[in-house]
A and B are shown apart, each in its own frame.
Chain A
Amino acid sequence: MIVRRLVDGVDERLDGTSFIKRNLGKVFPDHWSFMLGELALYSFVMLLLTGTFLSLFFVASPAVTEYRGPYEPMQGREVSLAYESVMRISFEVRAGLVMRQTHHWAALVFVASMTAHLVRVFFTGAFRKPRELSWILGVTLLVAGIGAGFTGYSLPDDLLSGTGLRIIYSAVLSIPLVGTWLAYLLFGGEFPSAELIPRLFVMHILLIPALITGLLSAHLALVWHQTHTQFRPAGTRESSVTGTPVWPKFALKSVGLAFVTFAVLAGLGGLVQINPVWLYGPFIPYSAPSPAQPDFYAGWLEGILRLWPNWEFHVFGHTIGELFLPAVVVPGIVFTALALWPFIEARVTRDTPMHHDAQRPREAPVRAGIGAGGIAFFVLLMLAGSNDVLAKFLQVEVDTLNGVLKVLVFVVPVIVGIVTWWICHDLRARGQAPIARPGRVEFRRNAAGGFDEVHDDAESR
């Protein structure tokens, strides 16, 4: 009865043609890979929940104090209020550590599932017209997610995060013409300035989450409005979409997935230690941890820095710093090319019609090759970003490993790309004309007791 009144009430107000009926009955195609985007969404929800809790205890201040908390090895050390508050969250606030670790894990899963989602959309051609805007919003969300992650793990003011911040500061400084001004405006002065932590805090808990929420809403609204692409079931047309109605099956399933995601994140947060800032110690400007690795999504950026040659340019009495190309230009090109990919592909392949069918990778061998090569490129850069750890593991000199990686980073993606293209090309050819089954061979016993081969032809049957 109450439900009836509610439905009537909403329908009366929103639309004459049954707003609720239309949307409850909306179908969502089912494929395991569609889960990846949902994972990102639900990790973001977890980030908001745990982040709200953390923000109530975090103190965004660089002011120095003496540590007097329960963590013995740090007793009496001079630390910033920011670092001290993170220590308090970790050791004194009840449920603080599980919240903090869950938050960090959720951030990693957030970026990881966005990346996996992007890969799925790429290889299945789901970004094609009319869904280019969804793709651009998605790429922007990925960049915002990386920004959120970076500003977040810089907040505790520990030794590891301080090192990361210094590298970003140096990258901004290297920008021609406006670099020094930009660095001073962004960082509040020469690194490390007192403005830094409060600013990172505002970016991390206000600006970037607001941006992500806005972009995410638009992204979801577009998916809802434009419908999913799908691997079309036999006997249906591209103009239709086949799947499970939102209510009740899809809704229950998706909420179920949300809870499983939350469960995994909480489990990780409680059971698997992450970012133990008490081991790194507070940020000291004249000290750096070794070996030092950033969170995984910054690994490829770090890899570029480690492999890039020491080129510096001098023009008209000015200097273009070494970092400008690897830390500013290359990532800029990567994300711009990624965002514009739907248009680049449509232009090159002269593809203008609307597409609602998901493609299998083999249906676009060149794209699949470029995608696989790209993944190989990022994986190698990520390995380069942890070359010190890798060298220790392989028991070779870092310099030797670097030399090898500098070659591999160009060679392997090309090989992977060509092999992928070749496999897809071959699969496609077979898909259109599957391996011919050998014709039936029939033997007939003849009068002499031997066997004659009888050639089977369809007509004779």
Chain B
Amino acid sequence: MKRAERATAVAFLVSIAAALALFVVYVRGGDPQAEGALLALALGGVGAGLLIWSTRLMPHIREETQPRSKTAHATGAEREEAAETMEAGVEEIRRRRFLSRLLLGAAGALGLAALIPIRSLGRSPGDSLLRTKWTPGARLVVADGTAVTVSTLEVGSFTTVFPEGFEGSADSQAVLIRVEPGQLQLPPDRLAGAPDGLVAYSKICTHAGCPLGLYLAATHELRCPCHQSTFDVLEGARPVYGPAPKPLPQLPIEVDADGGLRATGDFTGPVGPSFWEES
């Protein structure tokens, strides 16, 4: 192996190593000096490699003299010539298989290192989509913070509730509806979380996430104003019409000693539209 060839290879290898190191530094929390230095090495390696390659390893490609004027249209022969020039160039590069592979590797590593800052754009979803701000014992309040009690709602009416301290929270919003206690057709464990005909469901439609704004008291149906998904409040908010594929999760509640309403836990499932990690 010639010296120039070795130098090119070393430059590319340095670039690959630096790009991978940059990746590691980023994943481990980042460090401005290390990031700058490694990025400089990764970019510089490719640059130095290409410079050495072109100046030292292509001595047989000589300077030529060309006329300056342009011709109007390329003839077939000229097009053929253009294609040949292009191919000859590619062949010249590919001829050095080891170096061209290293070059590809360096480009890939650099691409990886350059893409990783995308990670800065958002935090990890983790289990944040699986839970909300509701905790056992959280008091039910309306948007202005007023606590909801067992006598706030008449039969046939509804209101939007939040866990105390998180008024207006997007993922914790729930609808509290009062129906005749005997009408609810819920499994026993669910029925326990709906005292005195007071039943609470997530207010976020399981179709596209719009807040469910309409309650049709006559048919006990919650309807989404966006795409008309409709849920039967009596039967565990089962979807009865429209594109929503699954029921609204229920918020289990209880009446405390003072007649106030409190959650006994989080919703019975993830709120809102489905996602991959959901089973």
A residues near B (Cβ < 8 Å) are: 15-17, 163, 166-167, 169-171, 173-181, 183-193, 195, 284-292, 305-306, 308-312, 314, 317-323, 326-327, 387-388, 398-399, 402
Q: How far is the CA of A287 from the CA of B214 in the complex (A)?
A: 10
| 9-residue interface stretch from B39-47, B99-107, B146-154, B168-176 | B168-176
- Please name all residues of chain A whose beta carbon is closer than 8 Å to the beta carbon of B121 when the two chains form the complex: 185-186, 188, 195
Q: How many angstroms from the CA of A310 to the CA of B207 in the assembled complex? A: 8
Segment at the A interface, from B2-10, B19-27, B242-250? B242-250
| Known contacts A187-B122, A322-B274, A398-B228: A287-B245 contact under CB 8 Å | no
Any chain A CB within 8 A of the CB of B69?
yes
Residue of A nearest to B172 (CB): A286
Q: Closest CB-CB distance, B143 to chain A, in whole Å?
A: 7
Q: Are A191 and B170 closer than 8 Å at their CB atoms?
A: yes
From A186, A288, A320, A327, residue with most partner B Cβ within 10 Å: A288
Q: Is the CB of B209 within 8 A of A166?
A: yes
Given contacts A170-B209, A174-B273, A181-B125, 18 further A-B contacts (CB under 8 A): A16-B69, A167-B210, A171-B208, A185-B118, A185-B122, A195-B121, A284-B168, A285-B168, A285-B169, A285-B170, A286-B173, A286-B203, A305-B208, A306-B228, A310-B207, A310-B244, A311-B245, A312-B245
Q: List 21 A-B contacts (CB under 8 A).
A: A167-B210, A170-B273, A174-B275, A183-B125, A184-B122, A188-B121, A190-B129, A286-B143, A286-B160, A286-B170, A286-B203, A288-B224, A305-B243, A306-B227, A309-B243, A312-B245, A312-B274, A319-B279, A322-B206, A322-B273, A388-B225
Residue of A nearest to B121 (CB): A185
**Distance, CA A192 to CA B171, complexed state (A):** 9
CB contacts (< 8 Å) of B244 on chain A: these are: 310, 322
Our pick among A15, A16, A167, A319 for the contact of B209 (Cβ within 8 Å) is A167
Q: From the candidates B128, B208, B274, B275, name the one contacting A167 in the complex (CB within 8 A).
A: B208
Q: Out of B72, B211, B272, B279, which one reaches A286, CB within 8 Å?
A: B211
Contact residue among B128, B168, B226, B241 (Cβ-Cβ distance under 8 Å from A163) = B226
Nearest residue (CB) in B for A182 is: B122
Cβ-defined contact, B203 with A180, below 8 A: no
Q: Which residue of A lies closest to B72 (CB)?
A: A17
Q: Is the interface of B mostly helix, strand, loop or mixed?
A: loop
Q: Which residue of A lies closest to B214 (CB)?
A: A290
Q: Cβ of B239: which chain A residues have Cβ within 8 Å of it? A: 310
Q: Which residues of B contact A (CB under 8 A)?
A: 69-70, 72, 118-119, 121-125, 128-129, 143, 160, 162, 168-171, 173, 203, 206-211, 213-214, 224-229, 239, 241-246, 272-279
Bound Cα distance from A174 to B273, whole angstroms: 8
The answer to whether B125 touches A180, judged by C-beta atoms less than 8 angstroms apart, is yes
State the total of A-B contacts with C-beta under 8 angstroms.
155
Cα(A260)–Cα(B212), bound, Å? 45
Complex interface: chain A residues within 8 A of B169 (CB): 285
Shortest Cβ distance from residue B168 to the other chain A in the assembled complex, whole angstroms: 7
Q: Is the CB of B276 within 8 A of A184?
A: no
Which residues of A lie under 8 Å from residue B228 when comparing CB positions? 306, 387-388, 398-399, 402
Closest CB in chain B relative to A16 CB, distance in Å: 6
The interface residues of chain B lying within 8 Å CB-to-CB of A171 are: 208
Question: Which of A169, A322, A327 meets B245, CB within 8 Å?
Answer: A322
Q: Which residues of A contact B275 (CB under 8 A)?
A: 173-174, 179-180, 183, 319, 321
Question: How distant is the Cα of A386 from the Cα of B276 in the complex, in angstroms?
Answer: 30
B209 with A175: CB separation less than 8 A: no
Most buried by B among A163, A291, A309, A322: A322
